[in-house]
């Protein structure tokens, strides 16, 4: 099987797994314990935090280890909104955010916050005009993802950051789950976001790992109360082996990013050109988007049929996203980009990652053509 579903999750890197096992074998003490083993474990934890901070370009104490993207997004939105309610009660998100952002914002409506969505164009890129219009003095947080997980849309982050910082007191949170390791992520300075979400399992790390990074010391309220670990921001005995494995995955993703970006972009462009030869296929991703995501819709077909047919040919792909693949409703991302209704149900996503070769991409094209002959051109 050739795995082309790296946006759903990735295979953990061998050296990440080895790091995890070694850390578990030697550093299993509680990092909060005062004895020598605790101190050693805590030193290891500090090193993992420092390594990530150096790559992200923030201070180590601004890195909070979490269980992944969902928790980091919940924490950023709820934590920043609640701690800074005096700044305002409006939350601005894009119309194509991941459910963990959308639902976190929605949950705050019960606490008196209002949520507004910034519209996107047919490629999923936000309207700067709409952002400017909706960004008001009472906006407390703007959360806009770097790369969309379903269609690979890439947002103009430095422009968004500048607009938010120049025109409001709002915090700008960016979900970088699909961009970190794929394209450069700039965090330092006013041209970057104030808070950043990264998930381990999307970068050949472990499931259940991730972090929220803050650009500087800000007021943020915890969402997990208890013993006050993680600078009082995320209670619970810190999973040191997971943190160390995450630091390893972050380092590796950072190192391989430029080469991956170059290679994946070539394959993405190649696949886009290939897909355009079918008159009944519309590409939803573009050559200006993320390097690793190719999304297209086949007219009059269901995505599930294509996923099954491609699996039969030895390729693992997905419908628009892993989250929406089990309920058969049309995803909010597909709705937001307003494609012709005859294409809406036929969306598939091919996502490239570590280990994929030129041969795999060429074989994919042959298999896709064969499937199209079966389902569309019989
Ligand atoms: C853009 C985006 N944000 C957040 C998440 C959630 O991350 P996690 O699975 O680590 O909770 C995902 C996962 O699919 C994602 O693609």
Order across the sheet with 293-298: list the strands: 281-283, 293-298, 347-351
Query: In the prediction, which pLDDT does 325 show?
Result: 53
Tokens of 85: 């309610």
Q: Note if 323 is an active site residue.
A: yes
What's the gap in Å between 370 CA and the centre of ligand 1?
A: 32
Q: Looking at the DSSP assignment, which residues form a beta bridge with residue 212?
A: 64, 197
Residue 211 CA to ligand 1 center (angstroms) comes to 12
Q: Do the domains 2-8+257-371 and 14-252 sit in the same CATH topology, yes or no?
A: no
Altogether, the residues listed in the chain come to a count of 378
Q: What is the pLDDT of residue 327?
A: 59
Minimal-distance CA residue to ligand 1 atom 14: 8
| Interval between CA 163 and ligand 1 midpoint (Å) | 26
pLDDT tens, 264-296? 999 999 999 999 999 999 999 999 999 999 999
The predicted structure's pLDDT at residue 189: 81
Instruction: Give the residue ranges of the chain where pLDDT is below 70.
Output: 321-328, 378
- Please name every residue paired with 154 in a beta bridge, in sequence order, or none if there are none: 147
Q: For ligand 1, pick from 9, 100, 180 the residue to mutate: most ligand atoms within 8 Å of CB.
A: 100
Tell me the longest C-alpha to C-alpha distance in the chain.
72
Q: Which residues lie closer than 8 Å to 374 by C-beta, 6 or more apart?
A: 309
What pLDDT is attached to residue 324?
54
pLDDT, residue 201, reads: 98
Catalytic residue among 37, 323, 330, 363: 323
- Write out residues with Cβ below 6 Å of ligand 1: 68-70, 73, 98, 100, 145, 149, 175, 177-178, 199, 201, 210
What is the per-residue pLDDT for 223?
98
In terms of CATH architecture, what is 14-252? Answer: 3-Layer(aba) Sandwich (3.40)
Please report, for the chain, the start and end positions of each structural domain, with discontinuous segments joined by +: 2-8+257-371, 14-252
* Correct CATH for 2-8+257-371 of 3.40.50.2000, 3.90.1150.200, 2.40.30.30, 3.90.1150.10: 3.90.1150.10
Beta strand spans in the chain (E): 2-3, 63-66, 90-94, 114-118, 139-143, 171-175, 195-199, 210-214, 281-283, 293-298, 315-316, 347-351
- Which pLDDT score, from 0 to 100, does residue 326 have? 56
């Amino acid at each position: 099987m050739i795995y082309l579903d790296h946006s759903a999750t990735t295979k953990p890197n061998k050296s990440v797994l080895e790091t995890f096992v070694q850390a578990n074998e030697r550093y299993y003490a509680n990092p909060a314990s005062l004895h020598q083993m605790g101190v050693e474990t805590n030193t290891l934890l500090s090193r993992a935090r420092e390594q990530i901070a150096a790559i992200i370009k923030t201070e180590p104490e601004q890195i909070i280890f979490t269980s992944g993207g969902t928790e980091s997004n919940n924490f950023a939105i709820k934590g920043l909104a609640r701690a800074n309610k005096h700044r305002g009660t409006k939350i601005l998100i894009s119309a194509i955010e991941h459910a963990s952002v959308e639902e976190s914002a929605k949950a705050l409506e019960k606490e008196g916050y209002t949520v507004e969505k910034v519209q996107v164009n047919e490629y999923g890129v936000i309207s700067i005009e709409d952002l400017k219009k909706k960004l008001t003095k009472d906006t407390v947080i703007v959360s806009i993802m770097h790369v969309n997980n379903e269609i690979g849309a890439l947002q103009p982050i430095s422009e968004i950051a500048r607009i938010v910082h120049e025109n409001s007191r709002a915090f700008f949170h960016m979900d970088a789950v699909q961009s970190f390791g794929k394209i450069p992520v700039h965090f330092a300075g006013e041209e970057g976001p104030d808070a950043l979400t990264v998930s381990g399992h999307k970068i050949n790390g472990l499931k259940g790992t991730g972090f929220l990074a803050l650009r500087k010391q800000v007021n943020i309220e915890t969402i997990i109360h208890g013993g006050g670990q993680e600078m009082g921001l995320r209670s619970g005995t810190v999973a040191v082996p997971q943190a160390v494995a995450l630091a390893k995955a972050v380092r590796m993703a950072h190192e391989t990013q430029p080469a991956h970006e170059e290679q994946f972009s070539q394959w993405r462009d190649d696949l886009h050109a290939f897909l355009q030869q079918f008159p009944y296929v519309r590409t939803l991703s573009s050559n200006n988007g993320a390097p690793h995501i190719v999304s297209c819709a086949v007219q009059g077909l269901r995505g599930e049929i294509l996923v099954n047919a491609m699996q039969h040919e030895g390729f693992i792909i997905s419908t628009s996203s892993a989250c929406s693949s089990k309920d058969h409703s049309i995803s909010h991302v597909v709705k937001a980009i307003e494609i012709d209704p005859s294409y809406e149900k036929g969306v598939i996503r091919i996502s490239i990652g570590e280990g994929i070769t030129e041969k795999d991409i060429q074989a994919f094209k042959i298999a896709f053509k064969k499937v199209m002959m079966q389902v569309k051109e019989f």
